[in-house]
């Protein structure tokens, strides 16, 4: 047993955990962060061995100019690069690939014109995306366009995702915000925030013993640590998998919430080519049919960077590419690109492919979450401070401004840190001189 008692232990060194730990350290509390992996950042993971520039295996974009993480990006002095405006998107609803304005010229898509207003007027009771589409009577291309609008980013099928939950989570706003990349890699941000923190890598937590006085944690290697309070930032998929034991078991309201907040599959295929074959104006290509939801141009060969396309899959499409080999997944993407760009020869141009499958990652157990039909307010139950001195953060616990993005994780960390400080103050003098 480690002879260690802390004011606060934070479980997980993703954005939520790092933001929380830094706040608590600033408040002069003794804090340690326990991280299962051999790196920090969690679902922010920058690859530096795929091509000559950093490429993102997890989170890639800062969403919008008003994101709450901008002050941190500026403070850390990180350079950013804006992605192209939405008009530089192409769509494929089956048949030929079209530039965004042209897709809307097709009469079959006109039925979708009032869709956003229809969503705002929907329910209660909540409907699944499929039920909503059927109620609106969308057929043909209108149906494909509606499914794309709802499910392009969310890792669930039409029957799994609730329309009201989607509105509560603010996910439709993702499509209207301008995106930005951190040039040196998204992981530069958690690294900057982590400066000065005591983070223990390769320390998977196995069991959490909680009550109203303190929290004791057991690591997979059998060691134990104790603290006056702890913050769990464990992803929902990990909590649901049962690989971390909670003693006593989590209360009913948390178990209810865990049943309604669904972690779904998300998978990225990074494709590096000798030369770009996609048009220079094309920033993004959204696909209503086929094995890939979305392609985007990471680099197009300018300034000496290798041409790299990202193939992004969520929900059922990600699940299908998860069960084949990496080589087969690459073949499937190449055949799809051949369909989308019939005059090009992507197979001949391909240099290398790498698959990042978040569902197979035991410390994520999925990409990110969405709300099942009827799951309204489940995220509030997830974040509720109803487990004694054990508190909750993580992107799944926050809906402002959009659930399950890096900004949500950051905000959740600040919120949980404030809850812990208040609880420690209520409990008596903080022991900043805890044994270490």
Ligand X SMILES: Cc1cc2nc3c(=O)[nH]c(=O)nc-3n(C[C@H](O)[C@H](O)[C@H](O)COP(=O)(O)OP(=O)(O)OC[C@H]3O[C@@H](n4cnc5c(N)ncnc54)[C@H](O)[C@@H]3O)c2cc1C
Summarize as ranges the residues that interact with ligand X (CB under 6 A).
11-17, 34-37, 42-44, 58-61, 63, 204-205, 233-235, 238, 244, 266, 268, 358, 363-364, 367-368, 394-395, 404-407, 409
CB of 253 to ligand X, least distance (A): 20
Closest CB to ligand X among residues 242, 304: 242
Write the CB contacts of 366 (distance below 8 Å, at least 6 apart in sequence).
155, 235, 236, 237, 263, 264, 265, 266, 358, 359
- At 336, which helix (H) or strand (E)? helix 326-340
Nearer to ligand X, 9 or 282 (CB): 9
Strand extents, DSSP E, 155-258: 179-182, 199-200, 205-210, 215-219, 224-232, 245-247
Taking the complex as a whole, the smallest distance from the CB of residue 365 to ligand X amounts, in Å, to: 8
Comparing CB distances to ligand X, the nearer of 200 and 431 is: 200
Evaluate whether 270 touches 46 at the Cβ level (below 8 Å): no
Looking at the Cβ atoms of 106 and 220, the one nearer to ligand X is 220
Residue closer to ligand X by CB (options 164, 238) is 238
* Gap between the Cα atoms of 154 and 150, Å rounded: 7
C-beta of 31 vs 127, nearer to ligand X: 31
Our CB check for ligand X shows the closer of 16 and 163 to be: 16
Smallest distance, ligand X to C-beta of residue 229, A: 17
Residue 40: CB minimum distance to ligand X, A: 7
Token pair 């109620």 is found at: 135
Q: Which residues of 73-101 are buried (b: 16+ CB within 10 A; e: fewer)?
A: beebebeeeebeeeebbbbbbeeebbeee
- Enumerate the H helices of 27-128 as residue ranges: 70-75, 100-103, 115-121
The CA-CA-CA angle for residues 398, 404, 407, to 5°, reads: 75
| Minimum gap (Å) between residue 221 Cβ and ligand X | 11
Comparing CB distances to ligand X, the nearer of 126 and 187 is 187
- Shortest distance, position 418 Cβ to ligand X, whole Å: 17
Cα of first residue to Cα of last residue in the chain, in angstroms, is: 13
The least distance separating ligand X from the CB of residue 60, rounded to whole angstroms, comes to 4
Place of tokens 């059927």: 134
* Residues in Cβ contact with 201 at an 8 Å cutoff, skipping those fewer than 6 apart: 13, 35, 37, 38, 39, 40
d(CA 148, CA 407): 24
Q: Smallest distance from the beta carbon of 51 to ligand X, in angstroms?
A: 18
């Amino acid at each position: 047993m480690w002879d260690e008692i802390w004011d606060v232990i934070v479980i997980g060194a993703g954005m939520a955990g790092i933001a929380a730990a830094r706040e608590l350290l600033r408040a002069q509390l003794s804090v340690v962060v326990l991280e299962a992996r051999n790196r920090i950042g969690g679902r922010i993971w920058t690859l530096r061995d795929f091509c000559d520039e950093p490429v993102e295996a997890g989170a890639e974009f800062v969403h919008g100019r008003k994101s709450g993480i901008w002050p941190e990006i500026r403070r850390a002095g990180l350079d950013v690069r804006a992605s192209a405006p939405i008009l530089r998107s192409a769509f494929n609803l089956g048949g030929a690939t079209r530039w965004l304005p042209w897709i809307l010229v097709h009469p079959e898509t006109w039925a979708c014109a009032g869709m956003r207003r229809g969503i705002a007027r929907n329910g209660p009771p909540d409907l699944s995306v499929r039920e909503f589409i059927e109620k609106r009577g969308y057929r043909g291309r209108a149906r494909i366009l509606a499914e794309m609008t709802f499910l392009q980013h969310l890792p669930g099928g039409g029957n799994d995702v609730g329309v009201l939950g989607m509105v509560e989570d603010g996910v439709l706003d993702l499509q209207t915000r301008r995106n930005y990349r951190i040039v040196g890699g998204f992981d530069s941000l958690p690294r900057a925030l982590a400066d000065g923190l005591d983070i223990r890598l390769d320390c998977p937590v196995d069991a959490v013993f909680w009550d109203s006085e303190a929290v004791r944690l057991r690591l997979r290697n059998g060691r134990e640590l104790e603290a006056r309070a702890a913050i769990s930032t464990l992803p929902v998929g990990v909590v649901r998998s049962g690989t971390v034991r909670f003693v006593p078991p989590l209360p009913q309201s948390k178990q209810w919430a865990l049943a309604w907040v669904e972690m779904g599959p998300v998978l990225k295929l990074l494709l590096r080519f000798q030369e770009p074959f996609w048009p220079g104006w094309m920033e993004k290509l959204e696909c209503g049919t086929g094995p890939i939801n979305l392609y985007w141009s990471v680099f197009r060969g300018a300034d000496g960077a290798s041409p790299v396309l990202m193939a992004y899959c969520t929900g059922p499409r990600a699940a299908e590419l998860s069960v084949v080999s990496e080589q087969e997944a690459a073949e499937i993407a190449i055949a799809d690109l051949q369909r989308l760009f019939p005059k090009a020869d992507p197979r001949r141009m391909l240099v290398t492919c790498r698959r990042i499958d978040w569902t197979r990652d035991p410390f994520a157990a999925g990409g990110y979450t969405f709300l099942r039909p009827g799951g309204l307010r489940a995220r509030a139950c997830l974040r509720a401070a109803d487990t004694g001195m054990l508190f909750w953060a993580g992107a799944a616990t926050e809906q402002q401004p959009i659930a399950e993005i890096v900004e949500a994780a950051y905000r959740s960390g600040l919120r949980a840190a404030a809850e812990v400080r208040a609880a420690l103050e209520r409990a008596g003098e903080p022991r900043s001189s805890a044994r270490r």
